[in-house]
Amino acid sequence: MFAVHLLAFHFTKLKEDQIKKVDRYLYHMRLSDDVLLDVMARFQAEMMKGLGRDTNPTATVKMLPSFVRSLPDGSEKGDFLAVDLGGSQFRAHQVKVFDDGKQSSQLESKFYPTPKEVIQGNRAELFDYVADCLLDFMETKNLKHKKLPLGFTFSFPCKQTKLEEDVDVDVLALVNDTVGTMMTCGYDDQRCEVGLIIGTGTNACYMEEMRHIDLVEGDEGRMCINTEWGAFGDDGALDDLRTEFDRELDLGSLNPGKQLFEKMISSLYLGELVRLILLKMTKEGLLFNGKVSTALLTKGKIEMKHVSAMEKYKEGLSNTKEILTELNLFPSEEDCVAVQHVCTIVSFRSANLCAAALAAILTRLRENKKLLRMRTTVGIDGGLYKTHPQYAKRLHKVVRRLVPTCDVRFLLSVSGSGRGAAMVTAVAHRLAAQRQCIDATLAPFLLPLGILREVMDKMRAELEYGLKRETQANATVKMLPTYVCGTPDGTEKGKFLALDLGGTNFRVLLVKIKSGRRRSVQMYNKIFAIPLEIMQGTGEELFDHIVQCIADFLEYMGIKGARLPLGFTFSFPCRQASIDKGTLVGWTKGFKATDCEGEDVVDMLREAIKRRNEFDLDIVAVVNDTVGTMMTCGYEDPNCEIGLIAGTGSNVCYMEDMKNIEIVEGNEGKMCINTEWGAFGDNGCIDNIRTKYDKEVDEGSLNPGKQRYEKMTSGMYLGEIVRQILIELTKQGLLFRGHISESLRKRGIFETKFLSQIESDRLALLQVRRILQQLGLDSTCDDSIIVKEVCGVVSRRAARLCGAGLAAIVEKKRENQGVGRLQITVGVDGTLYKLHPHFSRVLRETVKELAPQCDVTFMLSEDGSGKGAALITAVAKRLHNVGQK
């Protein structure tokens, strides 16, 4: 027993001594974590260079766009062909993808040897051979009569310009084996967004944000990038890590100075690296008693299969002795231990370097998503990873150590190149079909210039109908006189009260206006809520509540005894008989107070003040918020004669020549006309551009059949139009995996603010996904792209329609003035115009297109409903005083 223990001790000591000897000899191949972190940082820098348009030409890591824009989502189905050219054999595959809810597929393959004369011949011979093999496969499988989509795995670096390279067959996708690996694993695990090959060669691909890829047009979504990382270090970036053995191997290779990273990692080179190390150690007398065999001097005599066999856990030493004996080296026990450890150091260095580059990719993915911690899956293929006894374990361990903020699952690919090509083809096929359906759904929203001109002409006709006495009753655009007959001239001064009623909040303001050199406007206000039961109660309850709010404000400001002039911004359609008399035509914006329609709102306010019997007010003017917007901007710019609201509601007003207003007596001067253009189209004149989604929104509204133009242009309704489109696309299986969630069924889920956020150029798709998740919608990256597109199409149509209506008004102003070219300012207010990232630009562009003879300046209003009401009151008092004088 003692002898056995002594022998075991001797062997352990011998093994430790040999390992220490090899460790000292190959010190530069044993990479610490600090070195690996440095390699990781260098690779990240090379990735950035490869993605940049200006830096890509000199980058070693070429970051080639694959034009694969999406991962499998489980809805793929159908029969596909795949061909795989990447080594000594050519393979043809038929892949059936089943839409059975289990994400299953069936693969049938046939192998064809690729003769050396074909591999080394010309292009025509190679692709003729591929076509002949494919034809044979289709005849074998009785597929010749079918035209099936085909994916072509071409496992060599390719600079692609598009996914569909048409070569006289229905080739839908040209893919790299690395991309195929990612797609194969992505079909089984939708978290998979990295593909990795570690075999004869090595490469990686991953899903990059489009906004970071300068080499491809477009910023939306993601695209798979084929890194071609084998060339990392070709510019000398890894020279400090390359050993004399790496340099000797490179010099003896078919491509000296190229693919230097690959030559440190892939199985094609590791066996040769081991041979070169063993040869030098032998020559230095460290192995085999310094005796070199002819076999050890022969390039390629040690292959990766030998290295893997020598590193096996139990039989490794016996395998080592057998392999070395076959090389005529006659090893001792010490030699076998040392050689086995050389193999371990070479293969571990390979795994470490691969882990460092992979960690760089994972870090980039996490940073792109702006996550502190990320879960993801890496799809892997390749003989080195699959067959080496320790490689996978070592790789996993180092990756998790280098990127502790990433929870990584490693998924082995099955038939990656063939099945992967079919999956890319299936995804491309699905996306093409989806694109067709989406385009058909959104086509009615894409209004060409000719249609917009028709809308402009119809709006112009309705403006004229509304101004004429005999047609005004039947006009949809009511052209309501406001009795505001002037704009500010800078002499207005005094203290004024302003009331602002136009939504769920009600404001009372004290406005102090100074004229002369120190011309200024100071405002003090208080906001009061209007409960839903008041909005939809009786008119008396509503106006009593308003007067209660006024009393609280007067008390708050200490001016309860003062009888100040007051302007009342009443942002609902009113027919005015004078500046201080306005009859409510009809409620909008969710108000339903009874006994108000057809009544003078100023009289109702005065009666409520009398009922309270605490104070008295000089009600000078009842105005619309649109008019207030025009007056506010007119105070700053005398050229402002149009007011536009583009927000929760939509409306416009403008200064019209009195001689054109038949519904009001008098021909001198001008008067502001409140168009109330939201009702444009209520007579059916724009039904040709209303979509089924507009009709669904209208039918579900509080006022079906009314305010049709407003329902196509205002923020209150755009989100609901988007929701209806998303429901339709989900029913077609194009969104949210075909599942209509309870959230999506809820009216009003999409507010204008969400549309504005989703369409922001600064918002990454991941943030769009988060917004959708906040709304209870479980979305993928592809879903986010589609939702963003839908929001953009709907809001763009709104801006274009609004621009067509405004163009009709500025053209009318130009003709009124009888000038060849008009210069005019439009005062604008409303959240849609102010906050939406593209609405204002599209609106301005449309006006310019449709009214090229008008130079229109758009000026943002500062508190049109409050300040504007006070200015209207001030102008009315000034004009009244002038009249008295």
Q: Are 873 and 510 in contact (CB under 8 A)?
A: no
Reference 801, options 684, 680, 719; nearest CA is: 680
Determine the pLDDT at residue 5: 47
Please give the Cα distance from 821 to 811 (Å, whole number): 10
In the block, residue with structure tokens 């006894």: 389
pLDDT digits (tens, 9 = 90+) for 575-614: 888 888 989 988 887 788 999 999 999 999 999 999 988 8
Q: Are 99 and 120 in contact (CB under 8 A)?
A: no
Q: Which residues of 321-333 are buried (b: 16+ CB within 10 A; e: fewer)?
A: bebbeebebebee
Please give the Cα distance from 358 to 203 (Å, whole number): 10
Cα three-residue angle 721-723-724, rounded to 5 degrees: 65
Mean pLDDT value across residues 14-22: 80
69, 507, 769, 878: the active-site residue: 507
pLDDT digits (tens, 9 = 90+) for 435-494: 899 999 999 999 999 999 999 999 999 999 999 999 998 999 999 998 888 888 888 888
In the annotation, is 571 catalytic? Answer: yes
571, 779, 861, 865: the active-site residue: 571
pLDDT digits (tens, 9 = 90+) for 835-867: 888 999 999 999 999 999 999 999 998 776 778
Q: Are 157 and 41 in contact (CB under 8 A)?
A: no
Kindly report the pTM of this predicted structure: 0.78
Q: Is the pLDDT of residue 387 over 70?
A: yes
**Could you give the count of Cα atoms lying within 13 Å of 434 in the half-sphere of its Cβ?**
22
In the annotation, is 507 catalytic? Answer: yes
Contacts of 371 (CB under 8 A, 6+ apart): none
Average pLDDT across the chain, whole number: 87
Q: Are 229 and 203 in contact (CB under 8 A)?
A: yes
pLDDT digits (tens, 9 = 90+) for 179-220: 889 988 988 898 999 999 999 999 999 999 998 999 888 887
In the annotation, is 741 catalytic? Answer: no
Contacts of 816 (CB under 8 A, 6+ apart): 656, 657, 660
Q: Is the pLDDT of residue 109 over 60?
A: yes
**Based on the number of CB atoms within 10 Å of its own CB, is 373 exposed (0-12), middle (13-18) or buried (19 or more)?**
exposed
Q: 670-674 and 480-481: which strand pairing?
A: antiparallel
84, 234, 625, 829: the active-site residue: 625
